[in-house]
Amino acid sequence: MDIKITKVAPEKMKPKPTDESKLGFGQIFTDHFFIVEYETGKGWYNASIEPYRPLILDPAVMCLHYGQLIFEGMKAYRGKDGSVYLFRPGENIKRMNESAVRLCMQPVDEDLFMDALVKLVTVEKEWIPRGIGTSLYIRPTMIATETALGVHPSNKYLFYIIAGPVGAYYPEGFSPTKIYVSEEYVRAVRGGVGYCKAAGNYAASLYASQKASDLGYTQVLWLDAIEMKYVEEVGTSNIFFLIGDELITPPLTGSILPGVTRDSIIRLAKDWKINISERQLSMDEILDAYTDGTLKDCFASGTAAIVSPVGQIYYKGREYVINDGKTGELTERLYNEILQIQYGEKEDPFGWRVKISD
Ligand SMILES: Cc1ncc(COP(=O)(O)O)c(C=O)c1O
């Protein structure tokens, strides 16, 4: 399908931020967005890149009532020589379509999705910040737009992609986080939609996150919803523990988001001959490892920060400090490796980088 491109008139372009240290996250959006419509019987139609604008929605559209709303999160990176890269975009496309299937929404043709990403990032190239760690955050989103009440899969959808420059996650170096193990609230349960990037998962996480934040913690460590025993994810990231010489991350059993960064870490760890396991890990095992001194490192993984060191865990009324509250060696090594691959500063043995422009 052709994508019609309508550019904003130069005099209507938004001013681009000049201070990259003040970009933050999710506050600034570029001049254009991609949008395509779907209707049962007609398929996807009217693909365009056009000036960024509000969506006009009937108050009865189904996404506003029954929550058929999914999204993705990915970034475009600018290398030192000005080249622009995406990192494993095919994985985000695949995950978005898996979310679509689970929520009875319409998968998007993979070639159209990729074409839309490349064209939008190319149109917005000047918005991509230059500093290492900064990037253009990309947010593909799909919403149900049939105007109807009554619970059923919508017959109409909008798929759109917005983007905006974001700052470096660690402008002053790593800052290990304090995490709070939630014993009362869960994020997702096996058989549910935890493995999808469905908006409802994030709404469900807010209450516990807010409580943890009120107590001075950065994130919630979610346990499995059935036995409340095994670790699952942390905040909106996947989680890894280094116990002895075994790097452990929970398996993908349906309640955990299959992170692109998680998968990249597993592939790198295998390549580096690290003993990596995707297996259930209970809080009891973590506490035993803490007691006998074999709990060496812990970090969260995700597109936002790549890896985020965990310095402290709160569980059942006690604080457990990991690696003296400092960033572990493995966390740092993984961070540097992935960062350098993303920014074109290192060889890319796995073919993860997709170059969009010179
Ligand atoms: C719930 C959840 N888990 C894990 C991740 C990490 O996924 P990725 O590495 O693809 O960013 C995210 C972020 O997208 C998330 O929202």
Q: Return the pLDDT at 174.
A: 85
Pocket test for ligand 1, best of 222, 237, 240 (most atoms within 8 A of CB): 237
Ligand 1 atom with minimal separation from the 238 CA: 4
40-77: per-residue pLDDT in tens? 999 999 999 999 999 999 999 999 999 999 999 999 99
> What is d(CA 231, CA 282) in angstroms, rounded to the nearest whole number?
6
Question: What token pair was written down for 237?
Answer: 């990231």
- Over residues 3-50, the pLDDT tens digits come to 999 999 999 999 999 999 889 999 999 999 999 999 999 999 999 999
pLDDT of residue 278: 98
pLDDT at 318: 96
What's the pLDDT at 173? Answer: 75
Taking CA atoms only, the protein residue closest to ligand 1 atom 4 is: 237
Q: Is 259 in the pocket of ligand 1 (CB under 6 A)?
A: yes
Please give the number of the atom of ligand 1 that sits closest to the Cα of 262.
Answer: 9
Query: Ligand 1: distance of its center to the CA of 300 in Å?
Result: 10
Non-local CB neighbours of 229 within 8 Å, separated by 6+ positions: 223, 282, 283, 284
* pLDDT mean over 254-268: 98
Closest to 32 (Cα-Cα) out of 13, 17, 15: 13
Residue 257 CB less than 6 A away from ligand 1: yes
Give the nearest ligand 1 atom to 194 CA. Answer: 1
List, for residues 89-144, the tens digit of each pLDDT value: 999 999 999 999 999 999 999 999 999 999 999 999 999 999 888 999 999 999 99
Quote the pLDDT of residue 131. 87
Using the predicted structure, report yes or no on whether residue 171 has a pLDDT greater than 80: no
- The answer to whether residue 149 scores a pLDDT higher than 80 is yes
Q: What is the 3 state secondary structure string of the chain? A: CCCEECCCCHHHCCCCCCCHHHCCCCCCCCCEEEEEEEECCCEEEEEEEEECCCCCCCCCECHHHHCCEEECCEEEEECCCCCEEEECHHHHHHHHHHHHHHCCCCCCCHHHHHHHHHHHHHHCHHHCCCCCCCEEEEEEEEEECCECCCCCCCCEEEEEEEEEEECCCCCCCCCCEEEEECCCCCCCCCCCCCCCCEHHHHHHHHHHHHHHHHCCCCEEEEECCCCCCEEEEECCEEEEEEECCEEEECCCCCCCCCCHHHHHHHHHHHHCCCEEEECCCEHHHHHHHHHCCCEEEEEEEECCCEEEEEEEEEECCEEEECHHHCCCHHHHHHHHHHHHHHCCCCCCCCCCEEEEEC
Q: What is the pLDDT of residue 54?
A: 98
Most informative mutation of 91, 135, 236 for ligand 1 (most atoms within 8 A of CB): 236
The residue-averaged pLDDT of 168-194 equals 91
User: Ligand 1, closest atom to CA 197?
Assistant: 16
pLDDT at 358 over 80: no
- 157 CA to centre of ligand 1 in angstroms: 24
pLDDT tops 90 at residue 275: yes
Instruction: Give percent of the chain above pLDDT 70.
Output: 100
Q: Is any atom of ligand 1 closer than 6 Å to the C-beta of 356?
A: no
Pocket test for ligand 1, best of 95, 99, 303 (most atoms within 8 A of CB): 303
Strand partners, 145: none
Quick one: average pLDDT of 164-182?
A: 89
* Residue 64 alpha carbon to ligand 1 centre in Å: 24
Residue 308 CB–ligand 1 contact under 6 Å: no
pLDDT-derived band of residue 179, with 50, 70 and 90 as boundaries? very high
250 CB near ligand 1 (under 6 Å): no
State residue 123 phi and psi, 5-degree precision.
-60, -35
Q: What is the mean pLDDT of residues 157-183?
A: 92
Which pLDDT score, from 0 to 100, does residue 170 have?
A: 80
pLDDT of the residue at 242: 98
The verdict on the CB of residue 88 being under 6 Å from ligand 1 is no
Q: Note the pLDDT of residue 168.
A: 86
Stretch 317-343: mean pLDDT: 95
Q: What distance in Å separates the CA atoms of residue 68 and residue 64, rounded to the nearest whole number?
A: 8
**pLDDT at residue 357, as a whole number:** 82
Q: Is 237 in the pocket of ligand 1 (CB under 6 A)?
A: yes
